[in-house]
Amino acid sequence: MLPGLLLLTLSCSAPLYASDSQSDDSSAEKPRYAIQVAKIITSAGKPIVGGTILVSGGKIEALGKTKEMEVPEGYEVVKQLDCFAMPGLIDAHSHVGGSGDLNEMVYQTNPELRNWDQIIPHNDDLKVALAGGVTTIAYIPGSGTNMGGWGTLMKTGPGKASDVIIKAPGVLKIAQSGNPERRDGEVGSGRMGMNYVIRQQLEEGRVYVRLWDNFEAGRTDKKPKVNLRLEYFKPLFRGEIPVVVHTQAYQVVQSTLRILHDEMNLKVVIDHGTFDSYKISDEIIKRNIPVMAGPRGFRYEPEDGQIKGIVAEYAKRGVTWLGVNTDAPVIPQEDLAFQATMAVRYGWNEEDAIDGLTIEAAKALMIDDRVGSLEPGKDADILITTGSIIDPRNYVKQVFIDGVSIYDISKDRRRY
């Protein structure tokens, strides 16, 4: 191989795309808006009735009651006085951010794989998705192997890869049951083997990161060798990015909690959490782990023949760090809000559902400093809707991403 080239590549180190939009020259030219609506849903406290949002430099500058705010000079006023404004929606589990390469299934664990090289910004799925209100997705590898690779946190709007990526690596994808099972007699044909394979790989990564931590802290002079396969374990074990886990059903979630949280001390996102896994809610609450449930939204309980809303069952048991996902294309990306609609139909609280689509998902993905709520300083990812996004009769009229209007049905053809 070419070790020199490798070192060169890695010298910029992870995360490659740390959010730093200030350095973007174009931000100075970004338009300034004063968005006036009937109601601002902030996902950070109470809604503001009759509110205005000031946007400049791609960020939210200020927001408050329209009566109490002055629109400074040079701000274009967007008047939607019969509409709502809310933060853009965030999907913690999506596969439609790029070319369809989800799984490379030669090795059982693939920490050498990353997917931000094949993203396709603003592709056909994402164009419709943002018309459905989705502005941020966790674009992740599939569950064909126990460790699918490193995923990208990206926006759905147009631009170059560097424009749309929020964080890369953004998450690690681990799968613990079902799909990654190997059926030809290797270790990993069952759950014991798969969990061994996962533990073994994580342990290797943890040792690698410890060596680098020791070196960087000056505890040793011996510089560890760079290993491309293990490099991205650094942000993972340093707690800067989470692992999103294909884990579902009580027993599997139980193993997720034990192995990934208790033993490996990782930031964990339960990124399916379906079937009967809500029954382990108390353990989830104890560890303060988010559940981004989906794409399945209900469970048909054989014991009493009743359909049960999965999110509602978590909520009933006290889990509050809750959201939904689409696993797009399983559920089309644009139907993220509809996933929440069904969760509410099946018993979830509507206000919690809006938080789940925005700030709770942002926290789970550890990008709540950038997105997930309408607060000064955050990215101006704003939806103008005809009413509550949970009601499928309502729709998105305009979308701002990073303070730029990228979809406006008064000019563009309606997409959803």
Backbone angles phi, psi at 219, to 5 degrees: -75, -15
Q: How far is the CB of 304 from another protein (least distance, A)?
A: 7
Buried b (16+ CB within 10 A) or exposed e, 51-75: bbbbbbbbbbbebeebeebeeeeeb
Q: Does 327 bind another protein (CB under 8 A)?
A: yes
How many C-beta atoms lie closer than 10 Å to residue 341's C-beta?
21
DSSP 170: E
Q: Does 307 bind another protein (CB under 8 A)?
A: yes
With contact defined as beta carbons under 8 Å apart, do 176 and 148 qualify? Answer: no
Q: Does 304 bind another protein (CB under 8 A)?
A: yes
Q: In this complex, which beta carbon is closest to another protein, that of residue 201 or of residue 341?
A: 341
Q: How far is the CB of 120 from another protein (least distance, A)?
A: 14
CA distance 409 to 386: 12
Segment near another protein (CB under 8 A); pick from 31-39, 75-83, 339-347, 372-380: 339-347
Tell me which of 50, 158, 224, 347 binds another protein, using CB under 8 A. 347
Q: Give the CA count within 13 Å in the CB-facing half-sphere of 127.
A: 10
Tell me which of 338, 370, 399, 403 binds another protein, using CB under 8 A. 338
Q: How far is the CB of 405 from another protein (least distance, A)?
A: 19
CA distance 152 to 171: 7
- Identify residues 136-175 at the interface with another protein (CB under 8 A): 142-144
Q: In this complex, which beta carbon is closest to another protein, that of residue 342 or of residue 367?
A: 342
Nearest to 21 by CA among 162, 140, 225, 193: 162
CA distance 256 to 174: 10
Segment near another protein (CB under 8 A); pick from 83-91, 95-103, 187-195, 369-377: 95-103
Token readout for 39 is 């109601």
Which run of H or of E encompasses 396?
Answer: strand 396-401
Nearest to 293 by CA among 344, 251, 259: 344
Q: Does 339 bind another protein (CB under 8 A)?
A: yes
Q: In this complex, which beta carbon is closest to another protein, that of residue 204 or of residue 391?
A: 391
Tell me which of 134, 198, 336, 344 binds another protein, using CB under 8 A. 344
Nearest to 93 by CA among 173, 181, 180: 173
Q: Does 278 bind another protein (CB under 8 A)?
A: no
| Strand residues in 41-195 grouped as ranges (E) | 48-56, 59-65, 76-87, 89-94, 134-139, 147-155, 165-175
Q: Does 50 bind another protein (CB under 8 A)?
A: no
Tell me which of 35, 194, 230, 331 binds another protein, using CB under 8 A. 331
Backbone angles phi, psi at 228, to 5 degrees: -60, -35
DSSP 189: S
Q: Give the CA count within 13 Å in the CB-facing half-sphere of 206.
A: 12
Q: Does 345 bind another protein (CB under 8 A)?
A: yes
Q: How far is the CB of 17 from another protein (least distance, A)?
A: 26
- Identify residues 108-137 at the interface with another protein (CB under 8 A): 124-125, 128
Q: Does 415 bind another protein (CB under 8 A)?
A: yes
Tell me which of 47, 158, 193, 332 binds another protein, using CB under 8 A. 332
Q: Does 309 bind another protein (CB under 8 A)?
A: yes
Q: Does 318 bind another protein (CB under 8 A)?
A: no
Total binding residues toward another protein, as defined by CB under 8 A: 53
- Identify residues 212-271 at the interface with another protein (CB under 8 A): none
Q: List interacting residues with another protein (CB under 8 A).
A: 95, 102-103, 124-125, 128, 142-144, 178-179, 274-275, 295-300, 304-310, 312, 327, 329-332, 334-335, 338-339, 341-347, 390-395, 413-416
